[in-house]
Amino acid sequence: MGMRGPVGKKRGGDAQARLLTRVPSPARDLGAAGKAEWRRVASDLGPRGRNVLTESSLGLLEDLARAVDDAERFRKEWQEQGLTVQGKGREFGHPMIAAEREARRSINQLRRELGVTPSSAVRVPSGPAQSDGRTGFEDVE
């Protein structure tokens, strides 16, 4: 049976993840679509954006970029080959259509996890403001 009393303090590290001060470059083996997604999301979540990007969220960001690359590759393949394929004497829907659909589901789930969809962005609070003297309104005229 469990012990009664107040919950003990966490030991062995600080409770809050450390925020990144700069965003690493995307992996070299990512395609153009994956790199573009990396840069878009990293700029939104990084120090110049909402400042919530941590070391632990980089894995999710890379998974997102790779899923975007996969979806693009799957789409190109079925667009080049057509909507159907021949097999066992009859036509079937191209398997890359289902693969693309699954990749898009993964993309949407990863975007929600990272907090970059409109509904999930509300639930992910912004990190501390950067002290570079910028107000965030410099580009607005």
Residue range 2-56, pLDDT digits in tens = 556 665 555 444 445 788 888 889 999 999 999 999 999 999 998 888 888 888 8
Do residues 53 and 19 touch, judged by C-beta distance below 8 A? yes
Burial class (CB in 10 A: 0-12, 13-18, 19+), 83: exposed
> What pTM did the predictor assign?
0.74
pLDDT at residue 140 tops 50? no
Alpha-carbon gap, residue 48 to 51, rounded angstroms: 7
Average pLDDT, the chain: 83
Domain residue limits, the chain? 32-123
